[in-house]
Amino acid sequence: MAYQNYFQMADDLIIHLNTIIGAVPDAFIVSRYTGLVAVAATTVYELAIKEIFISFSEKKHKVFGSFTGKYFERLNGRIKTRELKENHIPRFGDRYIRRYQKLIEAAEKDYLTKQKISISSSYNNVIEWRHQFVHEGKLPSTATYQEIIRAYEAGKEVVHCVYKAMQR
């Protein structure tokens, strides 16, 4: 499966929620939907990143692909940009981390110029909001429903950079 296909799961949920969110008068319920979007967004980020690493490895060698699949089986939200840069991508070699660095810096600059939002901060915030919602029972206190969707969309760019970096 292509890594972009995973985004469709969260995108479909957001499309559905967008049709009903305006009619929900209870701020408590809206805040729960905000947490749900953070969970869905982080899940698809994680699935897409796993797919990228496994596909890359399988193209190199069948056994390497199998090993990578098992290694990343329990990634469980450990996908913040720092983890990607310091732990995950370097395992494949310096060439890929250098490429990722260049791509993320260029994408960050471009997105900031055009959309006035940081892709790295957005991506990391979505993951943090998900963590707070799932593990601490806290709702994203600094993000509205619309802000979390905007952050999710911006965060997709980080995943696209991982994909581009992992090309041979």
Tokens of residue 38, six digits: 């953070």
pTM: 0.92
Position 155 pLDDT exceeds 70: yes
Per-residue pLDDT tens digits for 142-154:
788 999 999 999 9
Mean pLDDT of 35-64: 92
Burial class (CB within 10 angstroms; exposed 0-12, middle 13-18, buried 19+) of 162 = buried
| Alpha-helix runs per DSSP H in the chain | 7-21, 27-60, 62-71, 81-83, 94-115, 119-135, 145-165
Tokens of residue 140, six digits: 């994203």
DSSP 8-state symbol, 117:
S
Mean pLDDT of 8-36: 92
Specify the pLDDT at position 140.
67
Compute, in degrees rounded to 10, the torsion defined by CA atoms 85, 150, 144, 41. Answer: -60
- In the chain, where the domains are located: 3-165
